[in-house]
Structure 1
Amino acid sequence: MQPPSRRTFLALGLITLTTACTGTAGTDAATKAPAPDPDAPVRLRAVAATDTLLSAYDALLATPGAQTALLQPLRAETAQHRAALAQGIPAASGTPTPGAPTTAPSTTPTPATSAALATLERQTAQSHLADLDAARPPLARLLASIAAANALHATTLGAPTDQPDPATTPTPSPSATATGTALPALQQALSAEHAAVYGYGVVGAHLPDDQQRADARTSYAAHQAQRDAWQRLLTTLGTTPTPAAGGYRLPFPVTDAATATKLAAHLETRLTTVYADLVADLPTPHRRTAATALRDCTLRAHHWGAPTTPFPGVPDPAPTPTVTPS
């Protein structure tokens, strides 16, 4: 993860105040306490939950016959989560290194199996999502990304994939606060879903009539449902939803099953970035919906073979090809 920019520090209220050391005015300014970070309580809760999770990984890794090859990479990603969450909190600034012991609250039982650890990963994700509305936009984006990573960890540890039925994708409740700057972000998400629906039509056409094609149909239906949900919300808010383009240019030729699955992974990875940004752009009543979409795209991207990342949707922003209107 790239070091946060100065703009990020400004957004988080983590400004280092510098003053001259001469004169009474300089002395007064130097002794003046900096303004508290409004996100500090949320960060502390998230760090505490992550410490419990790290302690559980350490306990399981210490058991005879532990699946080190499986657990160590997940533990390392969790340590990265803690480091990102602890930024700007002196009391929580120490970052556990891989293999370093951590201390979990005595009231929390330490999982002794992968299944119990998967359950704790999901509980940690839920605790992060519960704080979305209390966090400022940059931290809300980070919490949603880490919650998506927790969900992927749980699946990797053997938990069933936790995805909603596409037929029951909810329509976010309209709110007056969803107007203004949030509308362009919603329209962008809708445009991305239009492109995904088109892209999955291409994916399905190049897959054999087996489980892969069935999975593509499920993903296609999920993106149709999410597209329709955004359209309904925008219509309810009195805005005309952005229509689908007449055609789309694929980021690379799709000619067989291998390139079809590559396209599916590309579509889902691109959408994780869209939805991570949407969590930050939306007002609090709608953040959970965007975070759920981020989680679902993260799980589908992994299913189609996309490389994993500790922070789904918030990687180093390198330019990548995309499905664009032709």
Structure 2
Amino acid sequence: MQPPSRRTFLAFGLITLTTACTGTDGTDAATKAPAPDPDAPVRLRAVAATDTLLSAYDALLGVPGARTDLLQPLRAETAQHRAALAQGIPAAPTSGTATPSATPSTTTLTPTALAALERQTAQSHLADLDAARPPLARLLASIAAANARHATAIGAPPDQPDPATTPAPSATAPGTALPALQQALSAEHAAVYGYGVVGAHLPDDQQRADARTYYAAHQAQRDAWQRLLTTLGTTPTPAAGGYQLPFPVTDAPTATKLAAHLETRLTTVYADLVADLPTPHRRTAATALRDCTLRAHHWGAPTTPFPGVPDPAPTPAVTPS
């Protein structure tokens, strides 16, 4: 896992300042007892769900003829998820401790069942977004996005937004979240512009059809952030008159490279937004993170166990010209 972004360090800095009030060694000044970690219950639930998933991978890998070339890398990423979630939990149990009743047997486990379990694990992480402090919420959303990518890689159809579980924007976001919302809106403005360039350089085939679909999705997300900011009494950041592309786009290969770049950049924006937004809106940002992760994978972007969370090497962004 690559180093966390500067925003993550700032978030952990706030936690450090809070706990420092009880003692310089992280203990209560009066009793010298370790300060309880409010995220511990969430971490324990996430670790348990990930252990069940790891056991399922092990069971399927033990089936003759299993696609080890596909499953082994996905299992390795899942083990990295487990290690990140277990940080700070004293004597966290080792992986692969799920009970037999929690994991399908080797006689019933199939790739389809494993993909369903990946999605189930993602949903369990998302269900705890509101109970986690911002840095852990950001990690949970990132891992849930990776779970969705795993399910798609195994062979399940792509996830679709669920209006029943994705909260609609409302006027409850505090003023401290406004800069993050404006940043997300600016990133969507750039994505809409970038997809216009992408579509113009793709042949009239399925790739161009996909680009049109994703272009419309980014328009819809842009409009959603504009409505939310307007509801909050803030003027939405307008789109720039033009944008400087990070590299020349002259043909289909460079067009797909730009699409992958746009989606990858947005995963970082939305992972940070999960941490910045209050609990009613975290699920909305996490859904956007998942969708960008799947689109980046579709365009051939390099995969990462933690979409949006690693701090990538500096790359040129699409900026106003």
Say whether the fold is shared (TM-score over 0.5). Answer: yes
Task: Report the secondary structure of 1:314's partner residue.
Answer: coil
Q: Is the 8 A contact 2:189 2:239 kept in 1?
A: yes
Deviation at 1:76, TM superposition (A): 0.1
Cα distance in 2, alignment partners of residues 195 and 9 from structure 1: 27
Q: Is the 8 A contact 1:166 1:225 kept in 2?
A: no
Partner of 1:12: 12
Q: Is the 8 A contact 2:261 2:301 kept in 1?
A: yes
Deviation at 1:3, TM superposition (A): 5.6
Partner of 1:166: 163
The alpha-carbon distance between structure 1 residues 32 and 6, as it changes in their structure 2 partners (threshold 3 A), is: farther
Q: Is the 8 A contact 1:196 1:267 kept in 2?
A: yes
Where structure 2 has 5 or more consecutive residues not aligned to the other structure, the ranges are none
Matched, 1:154 2:156: no
Deviation at 1:164, TM superposition (A): 3.5
Q: Is the 8 A contact 1:186 1:230 kept in 2?
A: yes
Deviation at 1:155, TM superposition (A): 0.2
**What is the aligned-residue identity percentage?**
93
Q: Is the 8 A contact 1:21 1:27 kept in 2?
A: no
Deviation at 1:69, TM superposition (A): 0.4
Cα distance in 2, alignment partners of residues 185 and 10 from structure 1: 14
Cα distance in 2, alignment partners of residues 174 and 17 from structure 1: 32
Partner of 1:120: 117
1:250 paired residue among 214, 224, 245? 245
Deviation at 1:318, TM superposition (A): 2.4
Deviating more after overlay: 91-100 vs 292-301? 91-100
The alpha-carbon distance between structure 1 residues 6 and 97, as it changes in their structure 2 partners (threshold 3 A), is: farther
Cα distance in 2, alignment partners of residues 58 and 16 from structure 1: 38
Cα distance in 1, alignment partners of residues 40 and 21 from structure 2: 29
The alpha-carbon distance between structure 1 residues 121 and 19, as it changes in their structure 2 partners (threshold 3 A), is: closer
The alpha-carbon distance between structure 1 residues 166 and 150, as it changes in their structure 2 partners (threshold 3 A), is: same
Deviating more after overlay: 308-317 vs 117-126? 308-317
Deviation at 1:283, TM superposition (A): 0.5
Cα distance in 1, alignment partners of residues 311 and 203 from structure 2: 35
The alpha-carbon distance between structure 1 residues 204 and 68, as it changes in their structure 2 partners (threshold 3 A), is: same
Cα distance in 1, alignment partners of residues 179 and 18 from structure 2: 38
Deviation at 1:90, TM superposition (A): 1.3
Q: Deviations over 1:256-275 (max 9, x none)?
A: 00000000000000000000
Cα distance in 1, alignment partners of residues 221 and 24 from structure 2: 60
Q: Is the 8 A contact 2:4 2:311 kept in 1?
A: no
Where structure 1 has 5 or more consecutive residues not aligned to the other structure, the ranges are none
Deviation at 1:2, TM superposition (A): 3.5
Q: Deviations over 1:236-277 (max 9, x none)?
A: 111110000010000000000000000000000000000000
Deviation at 1:316, TM superposition (A): 2.8
Task: Report the secondary structure of 2:66's partner residue.
Answer: coil
Q: Is the 8 A contact 1:173 1:233 kept in 2?
A: no
Deviation at 1:142, TM superposition (A): 0.1
Deviating more after overlay: 49-58 vs 61-70? 61-70
Deviating more after overlay: 13-22 vs 277-286? 13-22
Q: Is the 8 A contact 2:170 2:228 kept in 1?
A: no
Q: Is the 8 A contact 1:79 1:98 kept in 2?
A: no
Cα distance in 1, alignment partners of residues 114 and 127 from structure 2: 20
Deviating more after overlay: 315-324 vs 74-83? 315-324
TM-score by length of 1: 0.86
Cα distance in 2, alignment partners of residues 166 and 22 from structure 1: 43
Deviation at 1:194, TM superposition (A): 0.3
Partner of 2:105: 106
Q: Deviations over 1:22-44 (max 9, x none)?
A: 99999996971111000000000
Deviating more after overlay: 20-29 vs 135-144? 20-29
The alpha-carbon distance between structure 1 residues 105 and 161, as it changes in their structure 2 partners (threshold 3 A), is: closer
Cα distance in 2, alignment partners of residues 42 and 10 from structure 1: 21
Cα distance in 2, alignment partners of residues 9 and 274 from structure 1: 16
Deviating more after overlay: 117-126 vs 315-324? 315-324
Q: Deviations over 1:213-252 (max 9, x none)?
A: 0000000000000000000111111111000001000000
Q: Is the 8 A contact 2:112 2:156 kept in 1?
A: yes
Cα distance in 1, alignment partners of residues 252 and 271 from structure 2: 29
Cα distance in 1, alignment partners of residues 175 and 23 from structure 2: 47
The alpha-carbon distance between structure 1 residues 98 and 72, as it changes in their structure 2 partners (threshold 3 A), is: farther
Deviation at 1:320, TM superposition (A): 1.0
Deviation at 1:196, TM superposition (A): 0.2
Deviation at 1:105, TM superposition (A): 10
Matched, 1:139 2:136: yes
Q: Is the 8 A contact 1:50 1:82 kept in 2?
A: yes
The alpha-carbon distance between structure 1 residues 159 and 166, as it changes in their structure 2 partners (threshold 3 A), is: same
Q: Is the 8 A contact 1:76 1:98 kept in 2?
A: no
Q: Is the 8 A contact 1:166 1:221 kept in 2?
A: no
Query: Greater Rg, structure 1 or structure 2?
Result: 1
Q: Is the 8 A contact 1:9 1:15 kept in 2?
A: no
The alpha-carbon distance between structure 1 residues 98 and 10, as it changes in their structure 2 partners (threshold 3 A), is: farther
